Amino acid sequence: MQMTVGVEIVTGILGSIIYDGLKRPYKGLVDAVARRKNINRALGTQPDLISKSNANPAIQDIIKVIGNDNGLYDTNVATFLEEVERSAIPDALKQFALCGHDSSAVFPAFDLIYKSYDLLPFSSKALFEALFVAISTRLEQAVEEKVLFEAFKAHSGDLASRIDALSACLRNAGSLYPLPASQFADLRIKIAKGVENGNRQINVETTQGTRKVNILKLVIPARLNAVGSKADIPSPHRDYPYSKQQSTGYVPFRRAFNRAVILGDPGGGKSTLTQLLCYDLASQIGLESTTPRHPLFDSRDLCLPLKVVLRTLEKRQQQNPSYSIFDYFIDEIKVYCDNNEDIASQFLKQLFTLGEGILLFDGLDEILDIGSRRAMAGLIEQFTHAYASCPSLVTSRIVGYRDAPLSEEFQAFTLSRFNTDEVRKFSELLIRAVAGVTLAEAKKKAVEFLRQTEAAAGDLRENPLLLGLMVYIFNARGEVPSNRPEIYKECSLLMFEKWDQRRGIIFQFPADFDLLDLFGYLAAEIFGNAETEDGVSESWLSDRLRSFFNMWYEDRARSVAAAKVLVEFITGRAWVMCEIGPGVFKFTHRTFLEYFFARRLEEEAGGVAPLIQSRLISKVVDAQWDVVSHLAVQIATFRSGPKSVQALDALLKYGLDARNEPKQELNFLTFVARALEYLTVPESTLREAVDFIFSRVVHLGSVFNLEAIEVIHDVLNSCSRRHGYVGTRLVQLAKPILHGTSSPARSFTLYMIGARNSGYRSQRSGFYAPSALVWETFERSRIETKKDQWERAKIDAVEARSYIYVYNDNIVELYERFKLPLVFMFSSSLVPFTIGALPYFIVAAAVSALQKRSDRNYSEFSFNREQASAILSMLSEDLLRIWQEDRLGEVITDSQIWRAHGLIDEMMGLFHLKDASGKKIRHDDEAMAKAFFIYIILFWSELRMEKLVERNRVNIGSDRAASHLLSILVDYSALLDKNEMGKATRELLDAISASLTDKNRKKRTLPKAGA
């Protein structure tokens, strides 16, 4: 059985070397003999025969020695080794071996498992040392050159820091007293069955009442996109960022994540993902218990999933401040331990310490108070650090996450929205479940549903929750509203007024009040309070309903009677609220709560302008209540031109009068831009709004952040039906700035008209790809500005860089004019990334031209072979000169290297001189040697950043690129002539090699350090 735990470590450190996939037939027999000799030496025995097993490679070696070499492999040993393999121990030993870390920290965890079994044929220490020898030998033989393996072990600062917590966790096992192996296994299976049963089904409302559907028959497994860094996390109000990488599938993600945070839209499937993880993993444990050691089971799939609902945890902590995450887990499993909290605690400590659990934390964003959310994030970090051997996952909405993010140890992922195929498949499955029809009938209905929603609600159906609502309404009514508040309203009316009547069930409601009004009142009482949002009791509902009807009726007896009927309706029939526990009720989904709260805000405001000015604007500028605020404005202005004008006037008045921080103003402008999608206003009012937004965007982009360009995309996207008018107006506004004097405002406007990618939207292909909406809109601006910009570019390096960014041409000519100052400069967030990383992209484009690559994965620039050779010659000669003059640190600024970190990894793929089959790639040897020299300069410059990087705990990526670099040295050694550039390249490589083999990283010195 192949273990996938730790693959991310191996692939990250070894680069292109595949840990278990590297096969050398001509060395296979020699390697096998060597491994067996080493293991027998550790066990103190002599070898005999060879056997076969399905365990992971290192444990397979152990089994061969114990079983066939020594005849001591029995069921007890097999079960013991299976438990070791299930734990974090093999993965930890791999990591420790890779970085030369002392393996003794892992021994207490190994010994904890050992002590839980009956007498085993070897001592605990001997078995442990044999396992470490097996893993170390496997790793050394997996690396093509032993010196490379030694370099990997030395170049391990980031890796070592990552394993400190793991080391401490495993070492703590020495303080634990183990449960007997049989009792531990029985409890694990019993808890797994409980988790499986608790997550097996999803409730679906049908015309025959609530129906429970197996989760596997309805859920579309998630696709996830990795987010590079905190800076890449989508801003509030925005769709997900573009990724050139294909999204990660559910199963590969499930088997590989270590620390992950899942970010998504409301109703995007975050909680469903945790439910599916719980069900799948728990069911795998149950299946494996009936067919132990079957090769189809991945050890990562046998970790026990345990989930914390963070709103529930917060509620319990409010009631008892000493209540901890560990207490929560005890409460979750103690029923399976005969309510013995001591046994539950002992089981959990052993499970978590050994890394045999998966920790899931659902709904960080639902901790509404920012301070409390940050405190909760801190508790999660502390807990996952204490039990670092367990994978952990946190879910959160995108909105609010930036205010309380987790540490860099948590890799952020966004949930992909449904693509066309997933929309179709989910529609078919849900229609079949709701309508109770055959699959063929469901497919036919789905075709009609997709036809109806294509034009008016195509983006809404990408969200699983909204798609489900529309399918439900479609099934009941045969048509789907196009306005989001109307979707919620129609769904609610369907539930309240028509649902039970169709089934012959009649509630005797008072005839003189509105159910929607009542639920708005309840939502206002619930929203924003941690305890009530997590669920309310029947008595709480009764009290609030009596208060509502006391305001409605003068007759108190009538109020009590009406409240009683409504409590019975809500707790027994209302689909918008559901029972989540004995006598505990909450809104079926948070989006319903938000809709009814928005509705209540609109009703109480007394007009459109008061709604915006008094109730919403303070939340809008802080990027809070985003869904609620848009819903409230939509409800207030629905199908009303005059009210839409009032809303936009109120927003613009605030924008003109307010003095906000730049980030707050950006939030405000984004809200206004997105509101243009549903506000129906005449052209004169629209022009006023566009003019205001444009002027403020230019100011913000000039002094704050280039992200302001995204607001222009939002304007264009929201006004798609009036694109001609709005686009023309934006071009008119940009023209005088572009033809004016040089200024920060002009530079930003140039960057805006040159923005090829903006407004990130989910594409139906399943990939995230950018929109060219801004780029296409300003085509005329670029044409009219080009001649003037070229004249400016010839006399000023800043203008030259802007010209290159917008037009992607004349790079060779401009470099001849300005030399190194053209490509190396102080970089900031007010300069596009392409300019900030100009030398990287120029080299990538030149190498692509030399290799005749047709793709643009590495650079937007394009050269022919002559241009590529010319730019590489000039750039390499100039860099050689400043290297020889010991001025490299003066020219290549830390700010530029810092901003472009990570590109070293991406570029390395260009420098392999052979393809995957081993065939040589055609190229110009002399030009490639020059490109390689430039790359080594850039790589060395990243190494110079190491002290800053370590101080800020940021991984700039050179660790991973180092392994790639060393792996291709053989190819390039023949290209390095015995000239000055070849000599400099070898000096740089010697410096890098020394840095990788010097175990004392803090004392490392590099020659030619420059500044």
Q: Kind of pairing, strands 224-226 and 411-415? A: antiparallel
686: β partners: none
| pLDDT the model gives residue 972 | 61
Cα 744 from Cα 739, distance rounded (Å): 13
Task: Say which DSSP state 46 is in.
Answer: -
Cα 79 from Cα 290, distance rounded (Å): 14
Label residue 743 left, alpha or beta by phi (over 0 means left) and psi (-120 to 50 means alpha). Answer: beta
| pLDDT tens figures, 260-318 | 999 887 667 888 899 999 999 999 998 888 877 666 777 778 899 999 999 899 999 99
| pLDDT the model gives residue 151 | 45
Cα 64 from Cα 82, distance rounded (Å): 14
3-class secondary structure, 616: helix
Q: Let me know: does 736 contact 729? Beta carbons within 8 Å.
A: no
Q: What is the mean pLDDT of the chain?
A: 78
Backbone angles phi, psi at 258, to 5 degrees: -115, -65
Task: Say which DSSP state 225 is in.
Answer: E
Cα 588 from Cα 578, distance rounded (Å): 6
Return the closest-CA partner of residue 109 out of 49, 153, 169, 163.
Answer: 169
Length of the chain: 1011
Q: Let me know: does 356 contact 347? Beta carbons within 8 Å.
A: no
Neighbours of 803 (CB within 10 A): 25
3-class secondary structure, 262: strand
Contacts for 597 with CB less than 8 Å, ≥ 6 apart:
520, 523, 524, 526, 527, 628
pTM: 0.63
Helix H or strand E segment including 330: helix 325-333
Cα 941 from Cα 63, distance rounded (Å): 47
Helix H or strand E segment including 998: none
Q: Let me know: does 14 contact 94? Beta carbons within 8 Å.
A: no
Cα 933 from Cα 878, distance rounded (Å): 11
Query: Which CA distances in Å does 22 have to 16, 143, 144, 443?
Result: 10, 8, 9, 46
305: β partners: 358
| pLDDT the model gives residue 295 | 66
Q: Let me know: does 90 contact 84? Beta carbons within 8 Å.
A: yes
Q: Structure tokens of 572?
A: 């027994």
Backbone angles phi, psi at 204, to 5 degrees: -125, 130
| pLDDT tens figures, 780-803 | 999 999 999 999 999 999 999 999
Instruction: Give burial (CB, 10 Å; 0-12/13-18/19+) of 681.
Output: buried
Q: Let me know: does 355 contact 389? Beta carbons within 8 Å.
A: yes
Contacts for 978 with CB less than 8 Å, ≥ 6 apart:
none
Helix H or strand E segment including 209: strand 209-214
| pLDDT the model gives residue 171 | 77
Burial 335-371 (b: 16+ CB within 10 A, else e): ebbeeeeebbbbbbbbbbbbbbbbbbbbbbbbbbeee
Contacts for 987 with CB less than 8 Å, ≥ 6 apart:
1007, 1008
Cα 252 from Cα 310, distance rounded (Å): 26
Angle at 335 between CA 331 and CA 336, to 5 degrees: 115
Q: Kind of pairing, strands 758-762 and 768-771? A: antiparallel
Helices 683-703 + 744-753 axis angle, to 10? 110
Q: Let me know: does 204 contact 433? Beta carbons within 8 Å.
A: yes
Helix (H) and strand (E) counts for the chain? 51, 13
Cα 691 from Cα 682, distance rounded (Å): 14
CA dihedral sign, ordered 883, 886, 887, 893: positive
Backbone angles phi, psi at 942, to 5 degrees: -65, -35
Q: Let me know: does 668 contact 655? Beta carbons within 8 Å.
A: yes
Neighbours of 45 (CB within 10 A): 17
Cα 669 from Cα 288, distance rounded (Å): 55
- DSSP code per residue over 432-489: HHHH---HHHHHHHHHHHHHHHHHHSTTGGGSHHHHHHHHHHHHHHS---SSHHHHHH
3-class secondary structure, 963: helix
Angle at 906 between CA 901 and CA 911, to 5 degrees: 120
**Positions in the chain whose pLDDT score sits under 50:** 1-37, 39, 41, 43, 45-55, 144-158, 235-245, 499-505, 761-769, 947-961, 999-1011
Backbone angles phi, psi at 896, to 5 degrees: -70, -45
- Type of residue at 937: I
| pLDDT the model gives residue 965 | 57
Helix runs in 621-743, H state only: 626-637, 641-657, 662-675, 683-703, 709-718, 723-738
| pLDDT the model gives residue 850 | 83
Backbone angles phi, psi at 308, to 5 degrees: -110, 120
Instruction: Give burial (CB, 10 Å; 0-12/13-18/19+) of 699.
Output: middle
- DSSP code per residue over 764-813: TTSSEEEE-HHHHHTHHHHHHHHHHHHHHHTT-HHHHHHHHHHH---HHH
Q: Structure tokens of 498?
A: 């028509």
